[in-house]
Structure 1
Amino acid sequence: MIDDISLKILRILQKKARIPNVEVARQVGMAPSAVLERIRKLEKIGIIDGYEVRLNPERFGKSQVAFIHVHTSGNGTDKAILKSLAALPQVQEIHYVSGDDSYLLKVRETDTKALGRLVREQIAPLGGVVATRTAIVMNTFKETARIPIDDQALNR
């Protein structure tokens, strides 16, 4: 069970993961050692999965985002397909989805030519991949990995 103080700590950390522990403690009105203990407990029980640095994709020439729908034959090859897709550094997310397609990938590449090569040479040829459809992102207005935290989380 997560209490109000832990929720406050989680909200603070989602906004700025590198915030000093002393500042978190000041914001929630607790001793820094108590806050650190709570954070370690939240990590231990799997509420906090980890910490990541968000890099500017344009600085690395990876500003082209696309979503690729992958339809598979479903004949037992999906584990191998998923392993191969997960190994591609351009693939940021893989989701099993309902509907006609099996998986939805979020990928990041340098440009549409590189994206085309990725689909033609590394995704479509995978055994069991029946078809792909690609939606190229023209502009991104919001992108986040933050989870909405509401007070209902206390009851879960």
Structure 2
Amino acid sequence: MDYSQAFAISAAGMTAERTRVEVAALNLANAHTVQMGEGTAFQPMRVASRSMAASQVAPEAFAHQVDSGLASLGQLELPQAVIEPSGVSPKQVYEPGNPFADGKGYVTYPGVDTATEMVSMMSALRSYEANVAAMNTTRTLALRALDIGGNA
């Protein structure tokens, strides 16, 4: 088995999860932003992981890949993290003393849900740790294979 494929899979997962953490941090940092410097409101973002191969591979092909020792894995695309607007509507808070309040005294804030962002961040951190553990396990297996091969 080519261990570089296993390292590439873990690295792709780590990259996607790092992107999720960065986007959640960006959303949390701008949760109370009224307007950006150029006068536009902040639009919360979300991360979507997409892989064309996941929708194109037949379910029976997975068993074939496992049976063949993941030999055909190099032909599959690794998941890519795509940052896109979340489409959440902004929330209005009654703050008549705020200089950004409209005529009725409401200030428009981005529709960032801090609890959801924190859960997303914690989930991404745990997934990142799982990818690191998988990479370390692969490294240990590769070193053991070298040890076995060197003693023969």
The TM-score normalised by the length of structure 1 is: 0.22
The structure with the greater share of residues assigned to helix is: 2
Q: Which has the higher contact order (CA 8 A, sep 6+)?
A: 2
Which of these two proteins has the greater Rg computed from alpha carbons? 2
The structure with the greater share of residues assigned to strand is: 1
The TM-score normalised by the length of structure 2 is: 0.23
